[in-house]
Amino acid sequence: MSDSRKRDWFATEDNASDNELHNSDNEDGVSLQRQPVVKKAKQIADVKKSKRREIVEDNEEKEESRVTTAAKGSNKRTGKVDSILAFTTKDESDEDNDDDSEQELSEEETEDEEGFDRDENPNGILRQLSTTELEDNRAKIEKSGVVYLSRIPPYMKPAKVRQILSRFGELDRVFLAPEDPKSYTRRVRFGGNKKRNFVEGWVEFKNKKKAKLAASTLNGNIIGGRKGSYYYDDILNIKYLPKFKWHNLTEQIAYENQVRQAKLRAEISQATRENKTFIRNVERAKMIEHIQEKKQKKQAKTETNVKSESKPVPSTGEIEMRRNFRQRSVVMHKDKEEAMQRVLKNISA
């Protein structure tokens, strides 16, 4: 449920793979909060990496190769995309490979969850990019810049934001964080505006020079335009985020998702083990039953042959007690009566 809600909140214009942004990020949160997570992810990834004997030439390159492939496939994708842009953490863990491959191969319906490896599967759609392409892509990211809007004028939609900012240069992605659903319902309940409101936003420029220019020009100024227009007098608060790229926004969520996936996988394997034990026990019980049945038949036969009335049959009725289970408590009738007596006494008194 929460996932779908998250999707609803989503307000980016281009459906790039960034659809799992926290809307709780605040101005410093974006740049500061990330650091420990990245570090942690790096540590985990490092440990995992050491276990694998994969030849990783240049992690950075690899990560970016994924970015491009992802970007190519991005228009096909909807729903939960494991924000591929977020893998700055150089993690080459199995999960990532799986996730990516699953998405890429979804048309072929590969249900092979485990052990899919890019190296073993050269025909997979995830192909390595050529060095020039990689270089291009890297340069593109290097060149891009992100600005932060600490406040969005009331009910302004992403399209309008895009329109205002694209004056300065080509934009890539826009994300506006929607308001708290609670405050929305409260407003609507008291007869307020039913339009969606946004609280803050991030915009990616293809060229960071343009981003800087936009920020310095618009910051603290009215939006202007036509005199009578709705947003004419609204002031923008816009800041260029130095040394900040779009993927920094999504990495926390990507990391959390990844952790969750791993945990779920562990849980399920545990469940599978338990189920196997149950199945084994069921089989064993059947076997024992069968043996006992046979024994009984045999005994019955011999008895009819001998026709001795010495002993009653000592079988099936007596089941060997292997284990005693602790029994849950039962409410005794007497205790209940006593309690009720007390209540009655209090009430009548």
Question: Under rule CB under 8 A, which residues in 289-318 are in contact with another protein?
Answer: none
The binding track of 42-81 with respect to another protein, each residue x by CB under 8 A or -, is: ----------------------------------------
Q: How far apart are CA 126 and CA 328, in angstroms?
A: 56
Which amino acid belongs to residue 15?
N
Closest approach, Cβ 173 to another protein, in A, equals 27
Which of 56, 282, 287, 313: binder of another protein (CB under 8 A)? 282
Among 270, 300, 313, 314, binds another protein (CB under 8 A): 270
Find the binder of another protein among 40, 263, 284, 301 (CB under 8 A): 263
E-strand ranges in the chain read 145-149, 171-178, 198-205, 238-241
Size of the site for another protein (CB under 8 A): 33
Q: By CB under 8 A, tell whether 8 contacts another protein.
A: no
Whats the size of the chain, residue-wise? Answer: 349
Q: Which is nearer to another protein, 76 or 284 (CB)?
A: 284
Q: Are 211 and 169 in contact (CB under 8 A)?
A: yes
- Choose which of 274, 289, 295, 301 interacts with another protein (CB under 8 A): 274
Least Å distance, CB 286 to another protein, is 8
Q: Does 326 bind another protein (CB under 8 A)?
A: yes
Under the binding rule (CB under 8 A), the answer on residue 264 touching another protein is: yes
**Looking at beta carbons only, is 56 or 264 nearer to another protein?**
264
Q: Tell the smallest beta-carbon distance from residue 293 to another protein (Å).
A: 17
Q: Please, where are the H alpha helices in the chain?
A: 2-9, 27-28, 34-51, 59-73, 94-104, 131-143, 158-165, 181-189, 208-218, 247-306, 333-348
CB of 104 to another protein, least distance (A): 24
Which x/- pattern over 17-36 shows residues binding another protein (rule: CB under 8 A)? --------------------
Q: Segment 215-244, which members bind another protein (CB under 8 A)?
A: none
The interaxial angle of helices 247-306 and 94-104, nearest 10 deg, is 90
Which has the closest alpha carbon to 60: 135, 164, 156?
A: 135
Cα-only R_g, the chain: 33
Tell me, residue by residue from 327 to 346, as one string, x for binding to another protein by CB under 8 A and - for no binding: xxxxx-x--xx-xxxxxx-x
Is 163:17 a contact under the CB 8 Å cutoff? no
The C-alpha atoms of residue 254 and residue 250 are separated, in whole angstroms, by 6
Could you tell me the sign of the dihedral formed by the alpha carbons of 276, 282, 288, 294, in that order? negative
Q: How far is the CB of 99 from another protein (least distance, A)?
A: 17
Q: Which helix (H) or strand (E) holds 187?
A: helix 181-189
Q: Which of 1, 65, 22 is nearest to 253 (CA)?
A: 22
Residues at the site binding another protein, with contacts judged by CB under 8 A: 2, 260, 263-264, 267-268, 270-272, 274-275, 278-279, 282, 325-331, 333, 336-337, 339-344, 346-348
